[in-house]
A and B are shown apart, each in its own frame.
Chain A
């Protein structure tokens, strides 16, 4: 079992209840889509999977990564095992150059200079950005920024990839390229997104979240194809499922 979430609850400091008992599990090598309307609690949930939330340890753990309970004192190990891709690349690309940004994670892991360099090169090659080492994040296009972010996450060699809206703000070509890239990665992937076409293409299973609860869970085709369910939770049946059969 790659990841297990059991009765996860979270209240923001202002008292807003964001997660009201979320339970699900993800098997090794699975690609799971996390869908739901704005404000459903998707991003908050993702921050828990990497141990960034809660700020202080809960009385009993609610998230297990490969059997390890997520807690403050295991934070370092959890961060390494679970790579998190943030929604806004400008939040994630905080270094002056692409090289330094991709090297940020590996350098924290105490690897040698040469090893870090090799890792940065191979990660940039994986995302198709060889030779971008000395570029400045400010000069990259949206798609390139997103791929550098992904390279920075991959450079930490995570077992589980957690992606928050990976295709938002991308043009169709950048979206297609990123989709192909994500589809070819061997890691266990959890993708929170409104891009339901992406979910249909990449994810074997979908979890629908609304108002801090898991509302439904099932195969992408069955769950996203249920128009009544989709409309009830602020989503739409994706076009790719509407036009799959000839009329």
Chain B
């Protein structure tokens, strides 16, 4: 697993837009998608065109975009499945699935074309509570550190694993997760000490 920061996309019209403009645009599109009725699949053509245009303008490689979307798709499917109990279940399900996938695509495009720092500054300007901002910033910062740590631990284990088998893999992975949890707690303590050392109260 290798985490990549968001701005590895080639520069595009969308990536050059200001974060606040992009966020407002994304919000308008999302509200538009959300307000479409469930039973009329033909109406979906409009958001499909808008989202495809956004994807093209952002110069997002289609395969990467689809791969990222697929990772989030289980949530969309699970949420959409709830409408299967309605009388027009299948139509509503497909419409809702397309709507949620389009919404996710918009969010993916927004987050991939906007550096985290810009998103963070935007949240700060929107006057989000300080503790929430600190949590988001720390989460983002340590995601990369943790991903590197997982990779190192996984490699170290793989280097000394000579047998194959799903059971063993599960056993090893659970060990990695356990170790990571303990190390994360220890790191959290050291980070907190470092914060206090520079005046955090």
Contact = CB atoms under 8 A, between A and B. Distances in A.
A137 B193 contact: no
Contacts of B201: 76, 108
Contacts of B34: none
Interface of B: 5, 116-117, 120, 137-138, 140-142, 144-145, 187, 190-191, 193-201
B5 A94 contact: no
A50 B198 CA distance: 10
A91 interface: yes
Contacts of B193: 47, 52, 86, 91
Contacts of B197: 50, 52, 79, 83-84, 86
A96 B191 contact: no
A120 to B, nearest CB: 13
Nearest to B145: A90
Given A76-B201, A96-B137, A152-B198, A138 B144 contact: yes
Contacts of B137: 94-96, 100
9 contacts: A50-B197, A91-B190, A93-B141, A96-B141, A134-B117, A137-B141, A152-B198, A156-B198, A156-B199
Contacts of B198: 79, 104-105, 108, 152-153, 156
Given A50-B197, A96-B120, A105-B199, A86 B190 contact: yes
Interface string A75-105: 1100110011010101111111100100011
Contacts, number: 73
Contacts of A83: 197
Contact of B199 (A79, A94, A95, A136): A79
Contacts of A137: 141
Interface of A: 47, 50, 52, 75-76, 79-80, 83-84, 86, 88, 90-97, 100, 104-105, 108-109, 134, 136-139, 152-153, 156
Contacts of A92: 191, 194
A95 B141 contact: yes
A138 B5 contact: yes
Nearest to A156: B198
A96 B134 CA distance: 10
Nearest to B186: A91
A105 B141 CA distance: 18
Contacts of B199: 76, 79-80, 104-105, 108-109, 156
Contacts of A93: 141
A91 B191 contact: yes
A105 B201 CA distance: 11
Contacts of B191: 91-92, 94
A91 B140 contact: no
B190 A96 contact: no
A209 to B, nearest CB: 20
Which of the listed residues B116, B141, B197 has the most CB atoms from chain A within 10 Å of its own CB? B197
A97 B140 CA distance: 11
Contacts of A134: 117
Given A84-B197, A94-B195, A95-B137, 18 more contacts: A50-B197, A79-B196, A79-B198, A79-B199, A83-B197, A84-B194, A91-B187, A91-B190, A92-B194, A95-B141, A96-B141, A105-B199, A108-B198, A108-B200, A136-B5, A137-B141, A138-B141, A138-B144
